[in-house]
């Protein structure tokens, strides 16, 4: 009985020790981890599948590493693209452990924190290398997928010895440095002002061309109108002079009488003007005598109208065309051969055909030595007396 009690007392510690040894030889691997079994610091086995694992108790050590995708935010760094325009770039990398043995050999006991310290310079170097080979416009564009893939591949090749894999690299921010923002904004403002000045200059040039064309059209239209007005005025003056000459030729005494009446009307007006004239002078001839004794009417009846209309009878008074005469539009061109006023949308007013400018004819030059036969007076015409216009007193 005593022996059984002694065996029972010894079995309990043995069972406790066996339980402790059994618990020390078992380890559990989570599905989110990978495990390394180390014996005296040397890797003896790798447990990558989840479940129970066995080790030598009190001799082997188990190290677990995260098997999930990990993130690595990089610190902002300045890069210089191909066009020497400095940029501040923030990036974010995603990575995972693919080879736990190589990872242990590369980072030692530092684990994930040490690996991130090793990966950040690699990612930064890849960012500088890739972004330094392209202009800043490509970096600042909306489509940067190709650049980020290049950075990922470069960082993946450089980190292969760490036992990790760079899954993706994303550029989160690409901005100009703070000290360059004001200069950049000033340059952008100057560029916009230059473009605005160019647009204003082009608009002013176009306006000046339109204004010059309009001024030229005005000058040409005014010149043409003035020319035609001078022609009409000259023809009217010629017709008026012909009427005066015709009236003078019919009865010189009547012409002198009308001229004297006109002189009386102009000279004898109310006002402060005083005239000191001899009453017996020629100025008052028609106040004492109506001149009927000196009248010399034509011996033959004068036909309707006058010789002026017979000689210059191309238009009727008021600028209206004679019967049977049509209105025509003058065909006048400018120096470029285009119809006058066409550029400004102006059409010339139709005028009688007789007022259209006749073609210019060269005048015949008569030498001074040539004998010019004087016209013979008509036999039936009575000699005309020189009219004696009464003197006008001032």
228-237: pLDDT as tens digits: 899 999 988 8
Residue 388's pLDDT band (boundaries 50, 70, 90)? very low
**How many domains is the chain partitioned into structurally?**
4
Residue 40's pLDDT band (boundaries 50, 70, 90)? confident
The counts of H helices and E strands in the chain are 9, 11
CA–CA separation, 258 and 251 (whole Å): 11
Question: Do the domain assignments include residue 13?
Answer: no
- What average pLDDT does the chain have? 75
Are 110 and 55 members of one domain?
no
Are 91 and 137 members of one domain?
yes
Question: Which pLDDT belongs to residue 326?
Answer: 66
CB-based contact 140:71 (threshold 8 Å) = no
Interior CA angle at 160 toward 157 and 165, to 5°?
90
Question: Which pLDDT belongs to residue 155?
Answer: 92
Q: For residue 138, give its domain range.
A: 70-176
Strands 60-66 and 33-39 come out as: antiparallel
CB-based contact 84:137 (threshold 8 Å) = no
Neighbours of 94 (CB within 10 A): 15
Using only C-alpha atoms, what is the Rg of the chain? 61
Question: Do the domain assignments include residue 201?
Answer: yes
Question: Which pLDDT belongs to residue 125?
Answer: 92
Element (H, E) at 51: strand 51-54
Question: Do the domain assignments include residue 236?
Answer: yes
Question: Do the domain assignments include residue 82?
Answer: yes
Are 99 and 163 members of one domain?
yes
CA-to-CA dists, residue 345 to 231, 328, 332, 340, 356, angstroms: 25, 19, 15, 10, 22
Which of 278, 301, 324 is the C-terminal boundary of a domain? Answer: 301
Interior CA angle at 47 toward 43 and 50, to 5°?
160
Question: Do the domain assignments include residue 5?
Answer: no
Are 33 and 114 members of one domain?
no
Are 244 and 258 members of one domain?
no
pLDDT, mean of residues 2-23: 69
Give the domain CATH number at 97. 3.30.479.30
Q: Name the one residue in this structure whose structure tokens are 């043409």.
A: 224
CA–CA separation, 162 and 117 (whole Å): 12
pLDDT, mean of residues 156-173: 90
Q: How many residues does the chain have?
A: 394
Closest to 49 in 3D by CA, of 27, 71, 70 = 27
Are 172 and 74 members of one domain?
yes
Give the E-state strand segments of 242-385 in sequence order: 327-328, 351-352
Are 64 and 75 members of one domain?
no
Question: Which pLDDT belongs to residue 121?
Answer: 92
Structure tokens given for 386: 């020189």
What tens digit of pLDDT does each residue of 345-386 get? Answer: 556 666 666 555 554 444 444 444 444 444 444 444 444 444
């Amino acid at each position: 009985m005593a022996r059984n009690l002694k065996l029972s007392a010894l079995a309990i510690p043995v069972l406790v020790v066996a339980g402790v040894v059994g618990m020390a030889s078992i380890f559990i691997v989570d599905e989110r981890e990978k495990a390394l079994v180390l014996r005296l610091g040397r890797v003896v086995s790798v447990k990558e599948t989840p479940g129970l694992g066995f080790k030598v108790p009190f001799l082997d050590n188990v190290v677990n590493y995260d098997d999930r995708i990990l993130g690595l935010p990089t610190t902002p760094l300045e890069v210089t693209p191909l066009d020497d325009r400095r940029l501040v770039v923030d990036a974010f990398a995603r990575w995972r452990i693919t080879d736990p043995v190589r990872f242990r050999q590369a980072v030692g006991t530092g684990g994930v924190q040490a690996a991130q310290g090793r990966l950040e310079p690699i990612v930064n170097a890849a960012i500088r290398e890739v972004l330094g080979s392209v202009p800043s416009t490509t970096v600042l564009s909306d489509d940067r997928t190709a650049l980020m893939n290049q950075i990922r591949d470069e960082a993946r090749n450089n980190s292969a010895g760490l036992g990790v894999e760079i899954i993706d690299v994303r550029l989160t921010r690409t901005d100009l440095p703070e000290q360059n923002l004001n200069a950049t904004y000033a340059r952008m403002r100057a560029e916009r002002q230059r473009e605005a000045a160019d647009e204003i200059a082009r608009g002013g040039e176009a306006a000046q061309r339109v204004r010059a064309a309009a001024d030229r059209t005005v000058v040409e239209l005014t010149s043409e109108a003035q020319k035609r007005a001078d022609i009409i005025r000259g023809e009217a003056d010629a017709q008026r002079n012909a009427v005066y000459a015709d009236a003078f030729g019919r009865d010189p005494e009547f012409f002198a009488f009308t001229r004297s009446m006109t002189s009386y009307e102009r000279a004898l007006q109310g006002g402060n003007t005083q005239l000191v004239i001899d009453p017996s002078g020629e100025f008052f001839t028609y106040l004492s005598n109506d001149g009927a004794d000196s009248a010399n009417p034509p011996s033959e009846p004068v036909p309707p109208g006058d010789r002026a209309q017979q000689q210059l009878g191309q238009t009727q008074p008021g600028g209206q065309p004679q019967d049977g005469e049509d209105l025509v539009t003058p065909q006048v061109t400018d120096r470029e051969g285009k119809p006058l006023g066409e550029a400004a949308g102006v059409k010339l007013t139709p005028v009688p055909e007789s007022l259209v400018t006749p073609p210019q004819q060269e005048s015949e030059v008569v030498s001074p030595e040539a004998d010019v036969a004087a016209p013979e007076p008509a036999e039936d015409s009575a000699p005309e007396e020189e009219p004696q216009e009464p003197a006008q007193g001032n």
